[in-house]
Structure 1
């Protein structure tokens, strides 16, 4: 994804380029966010011609959507609709997973793919919510510090999760309390580590 940024960047310079970016989002959504979850749910085989498109990195949809939404002025009515869709996405995901898992007596996680349409809608709703919060009312310095740690947190949080959290809490994957509170603990610990790294000579270049 990072290697593609220089290629995609020129598309941000005009309306025609941004339309192409929307086209890329639609293609990824069709094949990664819709087709794959449906094939898992209904058990059909994906045609070979579609499989070639599916090889594309589905996470790219979040990179492109993040940019497009950051420069768009989404009206209040549209935001409310998106928030409702985001809430429904959570209800559908967990409702379906719970009911199907109970019936099958095993975990059915068809809707838990990060690139599924439900995940995309949820991500978009959260993004717009955060974007439209009036940060001026908060401590600007604190927000700026947290914002400066975003890249570092993204780089290290998975390693912390697997090397520290899952080692100390081997039951973590199935514990409800951990699944809810663990995310916040993981974020706070990642922030602390990134802030420490930022104070170390040479190493601090890793997390600018």
Structure 2
């Protein structure tokens, strides 16, 4: 497979990375401010519009790893693809467990309580690190998926699997968010068949390859854009309305397994593939874009630490009275500082290969 990086994919990777930071910057006070305030309304807005990020990351992986030009060797798969992600996951899981234990003032370093707390934190993925085990699971089944999607009837098989994903995963998850009559019984019926296929993200994985390999008609593309914007807008509004009714924070209408997140993520992916891809860049610009793109994995891993340190310094989504302006400022700061940290780590021979 040609190792030359595809510029629109690198730009989408960077944009999705910023989106993940946007979710986490907006979520800083998502649960500790009254839902009837303008601050919560703004955080809900930013929380929602950045929900394309995870979907696009998985779609990027699908379009690249399932590319018919790629050939899979199981030893190469495990040693070159799965092992580095596993090592990075273990390192950062231990790092964040140690960091959270150290900043906990009620725990004395070296005490039995400190050690127990440390072990408990290691046992469960930190809130953003769940993505790595999920990606490892997708990589494990990638050779089998590759054989299916690149077979003689691969296009039809992909359409079939995407349809199954919509019917058995996204549709039931979305319906669950609404207070329909006899909801428990309806959900039991909808969940009669649960084709998880290792993880709930395999549908995004296959959709990424499908949109990359085959694309869609102009009419369908426009429809996806319209539905993507309308659905994420409706989801943000529904979260706000439900929050006012219940008095607690709500995000279930735009979570990763909702139809809104699927349509919004698909529309962003298609926009980059069909329109951003037409932008012409000179060789120097392409080199810079590819370098930043190559740093996004490390930025994703380290940005939570940067967010925490900025928060301790008084820099977060509520550092000024205007939250609508504060959140973008925090996003930019987290991204730039995380990028700087990754650039420095990449200068260290062993660490650059295994942890970023």
- TM-score above 0.5: yes
Q: Is the 8 A contact 1:11 1:18 kept in 2?
A: no
Residue range with higher mean Cα deviation, 49-58 or 27-36: 49-58
Per-residue CA shift, 1:57-91, capped at 9, x if unaligned? Answer: 22222222112111123344332222111110221
Per-residue CA shift, 1:130-164, capped at 9, x if unaligned? Answer: 1221232462222222232344344x156437754
1:67 corresponding residue in structure 2: 209
Residue range with higher mean Cα deviation, 17-26 or 65-74: 17-26
1:36 corresponding residue in structure 2: 173
Taking structure 2 as the reference length, the TM-score comes to 0.50
1:38 CA displacement: 0.8
1:112 CA displacement: 2.7
Q: Which has the larger radius of gyration?
A: 2
1:50 corresponding residue in structure 2: 191
Per-residue CA shift, 1:162-189, capped at 9, x if unaligned? Answer: 754665569759x655554444443334
1:106 CA displacement: 2.5
1:129 corresponding residue in structure 2: 271
Are 1:103 and 2:245 counterparts?
yes
Per-residue CA shift, 1:82-138, capped at 9, x if unaligned? Answer: 211111022101111122222333323330321100000000011111122123246
Whole-angstrom distance in 2 between the partners of 1:94 and 1:37: 14
Whole-angstrom distance in 2 between the partners of 1:184 and 1:68: 32
Q: Is the 8 A contact 1:151 1:207 kept in 2?
A: no
RCO greater where, 1 or 2, for CA within 8 Å and sep 6 or more? 2
Are 1:19 and 2:19 counterparts?
no
Q: RMSD between aligned alpha carbons? A: 3.1
Taking structure 1 as the reference length, the TM-score comes to 0.79
Whole-angstrom distance in 2 between the partners of 1:49 and 1:81: 26
Change (3 A) 1:26 1:180: farther
Whole-angstrom distance in 2 between the partners of 1:12 and 1:118: 25
Are 1:160 and 2:160 counterparts?
no
- Select the residue among 334, 339, 342 that pairs with 1:191: 339
1:82 corresponding residue in structure 2: 224
Whole-angstrom distance in 1 between the partners of 2:308 and 2:219: 44
